[in-house]
Structure 1
Amino acid sequence: MQVSMASARGVGVANEDTVHASPTGVVVLDGLSAPKDLPMGCVHGTPWFVRQLGTSLLNLIGDNNVTLREALRAAISEVNDLHRDTCALDQDAVPASTVAMIREREDVLDYLVLSDNVLLIDLGDGVRAVVDKRVEEVAGEEMRAALRGPTGTPEHAARVSALVTVQRRLRNRPGGYWVAATDSAAADEAITGTVALTQVRQAALLTDGASRLVDTFGTLGWEQLLELLSTEGPSALIARTREAELADPTGERWPRFKRSDDATAAYVCFGLQQHGEGDS
């Protein structure tokens, strides 16, 4: 397994994505942004949370006897233990993250996706897109309001805060949606699967800031996005995404919550295939 990766901050102060890789595993996380005008029960913040969770996950999935769901449950518990004495973890306002990860295990590839990261797996006869869009099925009225532009205005920021307020009440609850936060039971709601390694040619793990060319802008298909990754690399994907965002800075053509989001892409090829930049 050969991995190349890139990550870039969006309009926020810090990059709330993280990516970790080992010879047999890749983990990509996207921390859920917390508007400055809303409370937060953790003094460490979202970037700290995603770094700790990603490190723990990469260590845990190195044990092939541990399923990916078990690894996610254990990682959430481990991170809870790091800050339960300093932070109010019994609130809705705690750091949270999406999760996408893969692992080579003997002759198979295991995968897990929780919330709106995207996993692409090229099986030779087509690209399988593994996505969890349950967050888009809740708070519909608030979501439609938050997508109304122009982005970057105080009015738009207020609508996004209203959406996050409602979403926080619906996280990790039946009828809502599921993310990695403080409830380890969220791992049981993740999308998981296993495919034979002989079927897999290449794969990509994307935060929603790196999947925009397909699922927000509609300028590429998944197959074309994989082709871009394989020929030019993850940095080129993010650069092209930024070009599209700059062409529509206020969200008039492509409504979105942020003009520019944190973007992280990990491209993985298998066997003897070669690819672009930044091998890990």
Structure 2
Amino acid sequence: MPNIRIIDSISDAGSASRPNEDAAGGNATCAFVIDGATGLGGNSIVGLHGSDAAWLAQFAQSSFEQMVRPGREMAEVVEEFNARAANVVHEAAHSLPIEPWNLPVASFQMVRIEDDELVTYGLGDCRLFLVGDDGKVIETSALKGAAQAEREGARLALAHAGGFSAYQALAEEPTVRDELRRRRAAYNSPASGVWTLGVEPDAGNHLASELLTPTLPATGLLCSDGFAALADQYLRYSPQELVAAARENGLSTLLDELRRIERVEDPDGTKYPRFKMSDDATALLFEIIE
């Protein structure tokens, strides 16, 4: 039976002016990262330091560590978690109507040991990079192609907003914000095909899952898209190189490099189009052994 061991983890807010809306965690049988989606200008409903996304990420972290246990289906875990989150959100709203785009949502990616198998589950655009002892690489996300789509969307938004000089987060620009609100309002419905952690229990029926068969021992990296940008957006590393650098140099060194790219090399987003100068960045390094 394989075993999972967490080696290192890091989580850093993209801006000192807002809370970190990512989280990471694990237990004896799983490891995971969570990426809360920053609010789009509405009032906080539950709020953690004024952020529903930060609340949802922290709530999911503690809930997953308690709820993900041997023999329990992951779809059932997500269904129950989202039902709990919905109860908290609607009680906090005091029966007042909530705009669909203002409901808290989050992505996650998890690696889980189930009997003698290794499985990954996810919703949204977090990333997994896994390198087996034979050097073969497995990389995946529940929302494939998200990095390219976001890059193209950010390119258009940057051109419209005039870069980061006026808005450090493009979602603050009214026209861009309206379009992002329109898209997010469609989440957790067949119309969008994007399912998340949040307030819709049916998301448990739309989990992306893959059986993983690396040669053991294997080393893996779970990342929010803000950290995975080193490979997916900034192209500084291949997936294999990113895992090797994390193991050899530590996650803090990679985080320093990430922030240097964003804040020194490309502070205006012209080379690497993105919706924020710096996104929250979270990574968890782990190994799978026999």
Q: TM-score, normalised by structure 2?
A: 0.83
Counterpart of 1:54 (choices 36, 61, 75) is 61
- Letter paired with 1:222: P
2:177 equivalent to 1:161: yes
2:210 equivalent to 1:204: no
In structure 2, the residue matched to 1:229 is 246
2:39 equivalent to 1:26: no
Q: Is the 8 A contact 2:104 2:198 kept in 1?
A: yes
Residues 229, 142 of structure 1: alpha-carbon distance in 2 compared, 3 angstrom cutoff: closer
How far apart are the structure 1 equivalents of 2:238 and 2:27? 28
How far apart are the structure 2 equivalents of 1:101 and 1:257? 25
- Greater mean deviation of Cα atoms: 121-130 or 80-89: 80-89
Give the deviation of 1:215 after TM superposition.
1.0
Residue aligned with 1:268, SS: strand
Q: What aligned pairs does 1:245-256 form with structure 2 within 5 A after superposition?
A: 245-246=262-263, 247-256=265-274
Deviations 1:69-126 (A, max 9, x none): 2211111112223342122586411111001111223322121121110011223341
How many aligned positions are there?
Answer: 269
Give the deviation of 1:271 after TM superposition.
2.5
Residues 210, 138 of structure 1: alpha-carbon distance in 2 compared, 3 angstrom cutoff: closer
How far apart are the structure 2 equivalents of 1:144 and 1:253? 10
Q: Is the 8 A contact 2:23 2:58 kept in 1?
A: yes
Residues 254, 143 of structure 1: alpha-carbon distance in 2 compared, 3 angstrom cutoff: closer
Q: Percent of counterpart pairs with the same letter?
A: 22
Q: Is the 8 A contact 1:56 1:78 kept in 2?
A: no
In structure 1, the residue matched to 2:90 is 84
Q: Is the 8 A contact 2:147 2:232 kept in 1?
A: no
How far apart are the structure 2 equivalents of 1:56 and 1:269? 23
Q: Is the 8 A contact 1:42 1:89 kept in 2?
A: no
Give the deviation of 1:133 after TM superposition.
3.5
Counterpart of 1:243 (choices 260, 264, 285) is 260
In structure 2, the residue matched to 1:66 is 72
In structure 2, the residue matched to 1:121 is 130
Counterpart of 1:94 (choices 86, 100, 103) is 103
Give the deviation of 1:40 after TM superposition.
4.0
- Structure 2, unpaired ranges of 5+: none
How far apart are the structure 2 equivalents of 1:198 and 1:221? 19
- Letter paired with 1:169: A
How far apart are the structure 2 equivalents of 1:21 and 1:7? 14
Q: TM-score, normalised by structure 1?
A: 0.86
